[in-house]
Amino acid sequence: MKIPKVFISYSHDSLEHKKWVLELAIRMRNNGIDALIDQWELQPGDDLPHFMETQLANSDSVLMICSDKYVKKANEGTGGVGYEKMIITSNLLSNIDSNKIIPIIRQSGTHIVPTFLKTKIYIDFSIDDHYEFSFDELLRTIHNSPLLKKPEIGNNPFKDNINTPELKAHDGVLNLMKVVVKYFESSSMDYVGYDLIRKEINISRIMLDMLISEAISLGYLFQSSQTKSIYLKEKGKIYALNNKLV
């Protein structure tokens, strides 16, 4: 599995703020994220603009720690923060995807982001008592593991004839019936071989046996106890017509 690389952009507001960012980065690394900050990536004499350009381009996500001073520098276009803003909002690096920018609110009593980020949803780290909740949200965002997942869409309850509700079987039986009807239609024989069905439907023997048992209980199929061959019953033929399998 690919380890997500995350560049953390912030302003050096104070020693306390630098320490907060450093601890955030360390904790992210301890939770499977390759977090990058200047505090351990740069040495005296290194090229700061080149570092910014490289990290913004190569990272999977970019955290922008929106303290009051950070927002001011970004809006005014000053310092390293201003340079990073210029990179993102210009065509200097065409391969930067703006969707990977995640604003992080670290303010007192306000929730302000730089003007060029005002349309983006942020994660609020401004309340220390809510830190764990915010950190969990950040981890889930970066690892693409949302707390709430969109449920699958169920079947239309009005699709089938309301007078024959038994015709609405679950998808496994429907797939089984498609195979049985396919070979019944293409052959002059009244039965379909068990092994042929298993090969066609490509599921485990146990699962196939369960589906056959369900179809038999619904009155669609009959299975020979000696040869295990499958026969299509009259009710199964009606099912095939109602579900447009022929």
Question: Looking at residue 164, what is its pLDDT?
Answer: 40
The predicted pLDDT at position 140 comes to 94
Signed CA dihedral, 130, 131, 133, 138: sign only: positive
Give the DSSP letter of residue 119: T
- What sign has the CA pseudo-torsion 192, 196, 202, 206? positive
Which residues, given as ranges, of the chain have pLDDT below 70? Answer: 77-98, 157-170
Helix (H) or strand (E) holding 91: none
The whole-number pLDDT of residue 97 equals 57
Report how far apart, in Å, the C-alpha atoms of 153 and of each of 144, 183, 244 are. Answer: 21, 30, 21
Residue 234 has a pLDDT of: 93
Which amino acid, one-letter code, is at 209?
D
Q: Are 53 and 87 in contact (CB under 8 A)?
A: yes
The reported pLDDT for the residue numbered 13 is: 87
pLDDT for the residue numbered 161: 45
CA distance 34 to 26: 9
Angstrom distance (rounded) from CA 153 to CA 244:
21
Q: Give me the pLDDT at residue 147, please.
A: 86
Instruction: Give the H/E segment covering residue 187.
Output: none
* pLDDT value of position 86: 56
Question: Residue 62's closest CA among 87, 39, 40, 42?
Answer: 87
Helices (H), 119-220: 131-142, 171-186, 194-201, 205-217
